[in-house]
């Protein structure tokens, strides 16, 4: 599973949220956006920065869905760990994606956390709105809302709700988000009950403005007014009604959360929803640890599992239900760039501000041995933040990328212009401790002033021990624990006082928010294009407190690249900037990159079906898969499921 960060932890069941746009092409009037020549106002049924939309105004459904998919049945998935909140914005506790599943936006994203549409990047289409309009300079946008949109309590969704939701996030939401948005979006105007206008600041990039306001979850103002609550309050007893296809049916945070498809959902026949939202119920089973979760799947406690543990994938799926064909295992293609997971350094720690120390620590991780001995050789070693895409930096910078970097001036180190892109070191797979790398790591630590004393510990000139605290969740994968333990052992072998500290989920969440760790296994967000979200994740302004930036990266070079990328006027300029950003992030060396594969590993009871060709950017099991009642009856008759 991947983790999306808000004020609380929200677990996503797959896919990754868009940060920017794929630079597909430049120019307007291709595929749908209509330009009114009299006043140069663009009016459209969707949005893309460059003006290109794959789906025309009269589209009937997305190409990848089955428009005739039957409705019915249940799909159930696990959550490993503990949950204690139904409000991810409160800043307290751990909340799950299901707590916000019912909220929609003007421009539709899937509540399951995947892009919509999932077969093309950088495009969004009207959901709560029926059209949007904006001038060519994108100095403002007006959304014309659908008059038939309703919350699940029957109340209409209006422009007042949109403005309320936008302002509520600014007043009570995540500080890094609010600070950035206030500067870019100074005001919102309710023109009438179903027309809302957002005004954008002068002199700034027009990136991530229209899609930003179009993606805000819309909450019911009347409910908040009536209850007298806000984003900081506990919603566990009663959740705000949403306007989406699913409503919360039951909540027991010690056991399960159940979503029920709303039979009166106002938008069920919209083209954006055809072939989607097919299950009658979606159930989340909350399970204490991954070992128990896997056993629960084998017994039928839940019915769909995305596997992330290579050992389980290689050896665990040989139980009778698989042999009998009751459980399907499959490797399905994943066209998304892999999430940049890794062992992340807390750059706020004095000892880790020295790149030589970070490089030395990294040299003690043996990917090759880990992959062969603990992960059955199933992974490749990730090098890039845009792995296996055309935006991945390779070799020395040249062409448009070199021109871009040189245009930034002295903020770009000369050595980065002259050297090849940083790639992970190699190690021998035959033994855990690669002696060549251990010697190189020891030399770097000696040069950094951390030498080995008589007791075998590394100390600096002040006599302080080089200590490294690695924070991990006690409920996590046993395989991941073994990986970290072996890495820690290698560090101890060269005199680093490294320890692995396993804590329960609530402690982990609190310490993660407070950045109370030296190292942590975590992830940043992959990107396929520019956007202001890059600054929140990789930029300096919110580095001291942003939950999206677990390393606390604050690099003037990275800031300059992001700022310049936002002003790219062509796809070629954007591509060059994104390649440069990948190169710069790797140069800054705030993460030890780990493993990836290009497939979704899934196992499920043979009662689900999916389109023959899956879209590039989503597995979509909670979005556009469907239930086969005939197959389900066979499973029940065979005793495979109750």
Contact 130, 267 (CB under 8 A): no
Domain check: are 389 and 524 in the same one?
yes
Per-residue tokens: 128: 């709560």
**41-72 pLDDT tens trace:** 999 999 999 899 999 999 999 999 999 999 99
pLDDT (average), residues 588-603: 96
Domain check: are 229 and 375 in the same one?
no
Determine how many CB atoms are found less than 10 A away from the CB of residue 233: 15
- Identify the domain containing residue 167 by its residue range: 20-63+83-238
Q: How far apart are CA 528 and CA 218, in angstroms?
A: 27
For residue 273, pLDDT over 70 is answered with: yes
% of residues, the chain, pLDDT over 90: 78
Burial readout 43-56 (b: 16 or more C-beta within 10 A, e: otherwise): ebbbbbbbbbbbbe
Q: How far apart are CA 363 and CA 63, in angstroms?
A: 46
- Among 214, 238, 262, identify where a domain stops: 238
Determine how many CB atoms are found less than 10 A away from the CB of residue 639: 10
Q: Is residue 283 part of a domain?
A: no
pLDDT, residue 35, reads: 37
DSSP conformational letter for 364: T
For residue 27, pLDDT over 90 is answered with: no
Confidence (pTM): 0.84
**486-504 pLDDT tens trace:** 999 999 999 999 999 999 9
Q: How far apart are CA 471 and CA 550, in angstroms?
A: 12
- Among 238, 253, 276, identify where a domain stops: 238
Q: How far apart are CA 26 and CA 598, in angstroms?
A: 29
Q: How far apart are CA 170 and CA 463, in angstroms?
A: 47
Q: How far apart are CA 385 and CA 340, in angstroms?
A: 6
Say which CATH number the domain at 88 has: 3.40.190.10
For residue 88, pLDDT over 90 is answered with: no
- Among 195, 210, 238, identify where a domain stops: 238
263-270 LR contacts (CB < 8 Å, sep 24+): 264/150, 264/152, 266/148, 266/149, 266/150, 267/104, 267/127, 267/146, 267/149, 267/243, 270/127
Determine how many CB atoms are found less than 10 A away from the CB of residue 629: 11
Query: C-alpha 131: how far from its chain's center?
Result: 28
Say which CATH number the domain at 534 has: 3.10.105.10
Q: Is residue 636 part of a domain?
A: no
Cross-strand pairs, 496: none
Listed in order, strand segments (DSSP E) in 209-264 are: 246-252, 256-261
**161-177 pLDDT tens trace:** 999 999 999 998 777 78
The alpha-helical segments, DSSP class H, found in 174-209 are 175-184
For residue 416, pLDDT over 80 is answered with: yes
Q: Is residue 327 part of a domain?
A: no
**616-639 pLDDT tens trace:** 999 999 999 999 999 999 999 999
Nearest to 150 by CA among 101, 57, 218, 224: 218
Q: Is residue 34 part of a domain?
A: yes
Per-residue tokens: 607: 């009662």
pLDDT, residue 6, reads: 29
DSSP states of 17-57: ---S-------SSBSS-EEETTTTEEEESEE-TTSB-SS-T
Contact 48, 26 (CB under 8 A): no
Q: What angle do CA 590, 592, 594 make, to 5 degrees?
A: 140
Contact 589, 608 (CB under 8 A): no
Domain check: are 223 and 365 in the same one?
no
Nearest to 584 by CA among 418, 405, 424, 324: 405
Sheet of 467-473: strands edge to edge?
497-503, 467-473, 519-523, 341-345, 591-593
Contact 82, 72 (CB under 8 A): no
Domain check: are 231 and 349 in the same one?
no
**442-476 pLDDT tens trace:** 999 999 999 998 899 999 999 999 999 999 999 88
Contact 8, 87 (CB under 8 A): yes
Determine how many CB atoms are found less than 10 A away from the CB of residue 135: 12
Higher pLDDT, 13 or 410: 410
CB half-sphere exposure, 534, CA atoms < 13 A: 27
Domain check: are 411 and 532 in the same one?
yes
Contacts of residue 528, defined as CB under 8 A and 6 or more positions apart, other chains included, come to 18, 19, 20, 21, 22, 121, 122, 337, 386, 389, 391, 578
Q: Is residue 333 part of a domain?
A: no
Domain check: are 431 and 579 in the same one?
yes
Q: Is residue 576 part of a domain?
A: yes
**154-163 pLDDT tens trace:** 999 999 999 9
Work out the pLDDT band at 111, boundaries 50, 70, 90: low
Q: How far apart are CA 342 and CA 398, in angstroms?
A: 28
Nearest to 240 by CA among 451, 88, 77, 427: 88
Q: Number of folded domains in the chain? A: 2
Domain check: are 94 and 216 in the same one?
yes
Per-residue tokens: 590: 């705030």
């Amino acid at each position: 599973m991947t983790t999306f960060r808000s004020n609380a932890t929200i677990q996503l069941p797959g896919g990754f949220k868009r940060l920017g746009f794929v630079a597909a092409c430049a120019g307007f009037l291709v595929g749908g956006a209509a330009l009114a020549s009299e006043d140069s106002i663009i009016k459209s049924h969707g949005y893309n920065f460059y003006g290109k939309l794959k789906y025309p105004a009269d589209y009937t459904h997305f190409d990848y869905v089955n428009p005739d998919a039957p409705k019915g049945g249940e799909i159930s998935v696990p959550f490993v760990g503990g949950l204690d909140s139904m409000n991810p914005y409160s800043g307290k506790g751990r909340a799950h994606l299901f707590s916000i599943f019912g909220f929609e936006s003007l421009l539709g994203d899937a509540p399951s956390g995947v892009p919509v549409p999932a077969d093309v990047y950088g495009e969004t289409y009207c959901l709560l709105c029926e059209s949007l309009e904006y001038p060519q300079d994108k100095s403002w946008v007006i959304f014309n809302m659908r008059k038939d949109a309703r919350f699940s309590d029957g109340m209409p969704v209006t422009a007042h709700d949109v403005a309320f939701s936008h302002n509520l996030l600014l007043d009570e939401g995540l500080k890094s988000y609010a600070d950035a948005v206030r500067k870019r979006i100074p005001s919102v105007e309710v023109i009438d009950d179903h027309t809302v206008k957002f005004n954008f600041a002068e002199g700034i990039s027009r990136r991530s403005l229209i899609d930003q306001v179009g993606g805000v979850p819309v909450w019911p103002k009347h409910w908040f007014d009536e209850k007298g609550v806000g984003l900081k309050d506990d919603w566990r007893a009663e959740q705000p009604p949403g306007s989406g296809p699913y409503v919360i049916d039951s909540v027991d945070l010690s056991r399960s959360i159940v979503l029920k498809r709303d039979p009166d959902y106002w938008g069920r026949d919209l083209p954006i929803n055809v072939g989607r939202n097919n299950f009658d119920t979606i159930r989340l089973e909350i399970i204490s640890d991954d070992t128990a979760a896997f056993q629960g799947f084998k017994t039928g406690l839940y019915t769909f599992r995305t596997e992330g543990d290579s050992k389980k994938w290689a050896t665990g799926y040989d139980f009778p239900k698989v042999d009998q064909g009751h459980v399907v295992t499959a490797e399905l293609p994943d066209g998304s760039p892999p999430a940049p997971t890794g062992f992340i350094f807390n750059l706020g720690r004095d000892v880790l501000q020295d790149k030589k120390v970070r490089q030395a620590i990294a040299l003690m991780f043996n990917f090759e041995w880990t992959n062969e001995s603990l992960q059955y050789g199933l992974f490749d070693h990730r090098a890039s933040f845009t792995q296996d895409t055309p935006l991945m930096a390779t070799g020395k910078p040249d062409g448009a990328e070199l021109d871009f970097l040189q245009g930034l001036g002295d903020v770009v180190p000369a050595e980065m212009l002259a050297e090849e892109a940083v790639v992970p070191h190699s190690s021998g797979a035959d033994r855990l401790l690669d002696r060549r790398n251990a010697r190189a790591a020891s030399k770097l630590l000696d040069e950094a002033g951390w030498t080995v004393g008589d007791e075998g510990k590394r100390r600096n000139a002040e006599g302080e021990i080089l200590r490294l605290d690695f924070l991990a969740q006690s409920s996590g994968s046993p395989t991941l624990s073994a990986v970290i333990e072996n890495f820690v052992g290698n560090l101890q072998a060269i005199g680093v006082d490294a320890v692995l500290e396993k804590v329960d989920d609530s402690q982990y969440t609190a310490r993660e928010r407070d950045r109370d760790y030296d190292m942590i296994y975590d992830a940043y967000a992959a990107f396929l294009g520019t956007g202001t979200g890059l600054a929140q994740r990789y930029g300096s302004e919110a580095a001291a407190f942003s939950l999206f930036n677990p390393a606390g990266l604050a690099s003037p070079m990275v800031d300059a690249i992001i700022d310049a990328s936002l002003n790219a006027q062509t796809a070629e300029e954007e591509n060059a900037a994104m390649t440069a950003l990948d190169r710069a992030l790797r140069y800054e060396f705030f993460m030890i990159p780990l493993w990836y594969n290009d497939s979704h590993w899934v196992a499920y009871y043979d009662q689900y079906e999916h389109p023959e060709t899956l879209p590039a950017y989503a597995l979509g099991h909670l979005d556009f898969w469907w239930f086969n009642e005939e197959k389900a009856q066979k499973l029940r008759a065979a005793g495979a499921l109750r």
